Amino acid sequence: MNGGSFRRHRRLRTSAGIRNMVRETHVQKEDLIAPLFVKEGEGIQTEVPSMPGVYQWSLDLLDEEADEIVALGIQALIVFGIPSSKDSCGSPAYDDNGIVQRAVAQIKERHPDLTVIADTCLCQFTDHGHCGVVDNGIIANDPSLELLAKTAVSQAKAGADIIAPSNMMDGFVQAIRSALDEAGFVHVPIMSYAVKYASAFYGPFRDAAHSAPSKGDRKTYQMDPANRLEAQREAASDEEEGADFLIVKPALSYLDIIRDIRNHHRLPIVAYNVSGEYAMIKAAAANGWIDEEAVVYEKMLSMKRAGADLILTYFAKDIARSLTR
Ligand code: PBG
pLDDT per position as a tens digit, 112-166: 999 999 999 999 999 999 999 999 999 999 999 999 999 999 999 999 999 999 9
Mutation test residue for ligand 1: of 48, 120, 123, the one with most atoms within 8 Å of CB: 123
pLDDT at 209 (0 to 100): 87
User: Closest Cα to atom 2, ligand 1: which residue?
Assistant: 166
- How far apart CA 34 and CA 258 sit, in angstroms, is 20
Q: How confident is the model at residue 207 (pLDDT cuts 50, 70, 90)?
A: confident
For the chain, give the mean pLDDT.
96
Does the annotation count 196 as an active-site position? yes
Percent of all residues in the chain with a pLDDT value above 70, rounded to a whole number: 99
Q: How confident is the model at residue 325 (pLDDT cuts 50, 70, 90)?
A: confident
Q: How confident is the model at residue 3 (pLDDT cuts 50, 70, 90)?
A: low
- How far apart CA 168 and CA 218 sit, in angstroms, is 10
pLDDT at 169 (0 to 100): 93
| Torsion of Cα atoms, 97 then 84 then 212 then 296, to 10° | 70
Q: What value does the mean pLDDT take over residues 193-219?
A: 92
Q: Quick: pLDDT tens for 236-284.
A: 999 999 999 999 999 999 999 999 999 999 999 999 999 999 999 999 9
Residue 78 Cβ < 6 Å to ligand 1: no
Residue 111 Cβ < 6 Å to ligand 1: no
Task: Judge whether 206 is annotated as a binding position.
Answer: yes
ipTM of model: 0.95
pLDDT at 159 (0 to 100): 98
Q: Quick: pLDDT tens for 25-47.
A: 999 999 999 999 999 999 999 99
Does the N-terminal peptide bond of residue 250 adopt cis geometry, omega within 30 degrees of 0? yes
Domain parsing of the chain, residue ranges:
27-245
From residue 251, alpha-carbon distances to 134, 199, 270, 302 in Å are 29, 11, 9, 10
The superfamily (CATH) of domain 27-245 is Aldolase class I (3.20.20.70)
Q: How confident is the model at residue 210 (pLDDT cuts 50, 70, 90)?
A: confident
Closest CA to 316 of 15, 7, 43, 51: 51
Mutation test residue for ligand 1: of 166, 169, 254, the one with most atoms within 8 Å of CB: 166
For the entire predicted model, the pTM comes to 0.96
Which of these is catalytic: 196, 299, 304, 317? 196
pLDDT at 81 (0 to 100): 97
CA 118 to chain centre: 10
